[in-house]
Structure 1
Amino acid sequence: MSSTVPGEAFDWFSRETLGQGITRLWEPHVHPYFRSNIFHVRGRDVDLVIDAGMGLVPLRPVLGLQHGKPVVAVATHIHVDHVGALREFETRAGHRAEAAFFEDMADEHTLAHLFRAQPEAVGRAPNEAWSPQRFRISPAPLARILDDGDLIETGDRSFRVIHLPGHSPGSIGLFDERNGDFLAGDAIYRGRLVDDLPGSDMRLYRKTMERLLQIDFNQAYCGHGETIDLSELRSIARAYLDKPSAS
């Protein structure tokens, strides 16, 4: 792909350098409910792009990728706000429970229809021709199907796949056990945890919270909002577990 960055992409994304080769990007003009995080992890031999935003403008050109260096794009789950630009990357990975859904990116799995129905889907159109009614996610079949416990290697870092269902069937996190970086996807973040979407399962979400309480990490990079530390993650998980269970 050309290194030229399309004009509309220059100010579409905001970014924050988090250290240890990790950059967080997000789309400030997207409705807050759909405004997710994209993480670029620069590895020695392989770069990781974890989640891919809405795909309203090209993502790959703004990442500053090194020409010829392999890139693996990992989807933490199938929802619209995390897979929009996944098609821009040749090597794509996601969990087995949702693997078939990437073949066609149907609304029933991505929930893209919820974005199209949002009255204020974007605060500013990404380009003059854009309209929510025409918004679709391009199919992006997976090159690698992930299971709990699998490792994703960058040459100098090793991320273990942790299956964290509840928000969606195939939700995952990536954990670098050596240095304590935990990329949590939508399993946990500040604010109300969304457990009432089609495909959500509150019983499984409670099991995920119990599992998260057993993980020792330094920083959790969440699918939405700011980075949280171990203490805050455990507080959020315990608060979820303290809620009355659905009958």
Structure 2
Amino acid sequence: MPVTAPGEASDWFSYEAVGRGITRIWEPHVHPYFRSNIFRVRGHDVDLVIDAGMGLVPLGPVLNLPSTKPVLAVATHIHVDHVGGLSEFETRAGHRHEAALFAAMADEHTLAHLFRAQPEAVARSPTRAWSPQSVQVRPAPLARILDEGDSIETGDRSLRVLHLPGHSPGSIGLLDERSGDFFAGDAIYRGRLIDDLPGSDVQAYRKTMQRLLQIEFNRAYCGHGEPIDQNELRSIARAYLDSSS
């Protein structure tokens, strides 16, 4: 059952345990179009933070990260709803196709201007003086550049990097082949898949969908919404292929 995160922004974040050592965090007051998932994955040697939300309220305090263990923050792609809080983390990783862009976080790549222009961008202001026009994504240069087939090791997990372009050029997923956990980013999720943003590529997205039909996994943790199983993911992928042909 989802619960509210404690602390300064006591009702800004919600979170729930969704798998072994996996917590899903989201921002319920953010407009649904930008309301993305953040995943904390506890590892034996390294903890992972997969995506970092809008950055409207500090994320670190609600994650309760240990001071004695390294933390790697992985961005599944560069859009504002996934990298707003990325600069809070010292060690950051993202795909090569977007790697150079994290150092500037320009609107043309993060698409933060679309959030600023969104009517009713939030249901409640995160702070008293906040306004959508104040939203700027802080630069967050990457410490590690990821390529297709790379592995991210936590000591008890090995996550394989999958390049899944289409939604954006550098979109990635992370697959734990032993447990069957698949962190899909915005490659796929329930609802209409977004393929008409600057940098989107329908033909690349179709190839990604075809690839997703072949991947074996148990549960997909998507960039938006609740986790889905393999059957539902394949149904979504087939529907996209049918509608975009």
TM range (shorter): over 0.9
Return closer, same or farther for 1:244/1:136 CA change in 2, 3 Å cut-off.
closer
Where does residue 91 of structure 1 map in the other structure?
Answer: 91
Map of 1:78 onto structure 2: 78
Residue 57 (structure 1) aligns with:
57
How far 1:209 sits from its partner (Å)? 0.2
Report if aligned partners of 1:8, 1:57 keep a CA contact under 8 Å in 2. Answer: no
Is the contact made by 2:7 and 2:62 (CA closer than 8 Å) also made in structure 1?
no
Supply the AA of the counterpart residue of 1:24: R
- CA shift, 1:226, in A, is 0.7
Residue 11 of structure 1, CA deviation: 1.5
C-alpha distance in structure 1 between counterparts of 2:60 and 2:48, whole Å: 12
Alpha-carbon distance, 1:119 to partner: 1.4
For 2:21 and 2:211, locate their aligned partners in 1 and report how far apart those are by CA, in whole Å. 27
Partners of 2:51 and 2:82 within 8 A in 1: yes
Aligned-pair distance for 1:10? Answer: 2.0
Matched, 1:11 2:29: no
Q: Compute the RMSD of aligned alpha carbons.
A: 1.1
Question: In the TM superposition, what is the alpha-carbon distance from 1:68 to its structure 2 partner?
Answer: 2.1
Q: Could you tell me which residue of structure 2 aligns to residue 180 of structure 1?
A: 180
Counterpart contact for 2:173–2:183, Cα < 8 Å: yes
Measured in 1, the distance between the counterparts of 2:8 and 2:129 equals 12
- Secondary structure (helix, strand or coil) at the match of 2:233 reads helix
Q: Which amino acid aligns with 2:178?
A: R
State the distance in 1 between where 2:244 and 2:84 align. Answer: 35
Structure 1, residues 37-60: CA drift from partner, whole Å, max 9, x if none?
Answer: 000000001000000000000001
Is it true that 1:226 corresponds to 2:226 in the alignment? yes
- In structure 2, stretches of 5+ residues that fail to align are none
C-alpha distance in 1 between matches for 2:7 and 2:155: 33
Distance between the aligned counterparts of 1:198 and 1:212, measured in 2? 23
Aligned AA (2:157):
R
Q: What TM-score, normalized to structure 1?
A: 0.96
Aligned equivalents of 1:6, 1:43: Cα separation in 2: 23
- Give the distance between the partners of 1:134 and 1:143, measured in 2 at CA: 27
Q: Deviations over 1:1-44 (max 9, x none)?
A: xxxx9954221100010121000000000000000000000000
Q: Is the 8 A contact 1:10 1:62 kept in 2?
A: no
| 1:79 Cα deviation after fit | 0.2
Residue 103 of structure 1 contacts residue 141 of structure 1 at CA under 8 Å; is this kept in 2? yes
Q: Sort the Cα spacing of 1:202 and 1:15 in 2 relative to 1 into closer, same or farther, 3 A.
A: same
| Aligned match of 1:162 | 162
Calculate the TM-score normalised by the size of structure 2.
Answer: 0.97
Find the residue that maps to 2:114 and give its secondary structure.
helix
Amino acid at match of 1:130: W
Number of aligned residue pairs: 241
The CA distance in 2 between the partners of 1:158 and 1:49, in whole Å, is 15
Matches within 5 A, 1:22-171: 22-171=22-171
Listed as ranges, the gaps of 5+ residues in structure 1 are none
Tell which deviates more after alignment, 10-19 or 151-160.
10-19
Alpha-carbon separation, structure 1, partners of 2:19 and 2:187: 22
Deviation of the 1:244 alpha carbon: 4.0
Q: Which amino acid aligns with 1:243?
A: S
In the alignment, structure 1 residue 214 sits paired with structure 2 residue 179: no
**What CA distance in whole angstroms lies between the structure 2 residues aligned with 1:98 and 1:19?**
29
Sequence identity (%): 80
Q: Given that residues 8 and 127 in structure 1 are in contact (C-alpha distance below 8 angstroms), is that contact kept between their aligned partners in structure 2?
A: no
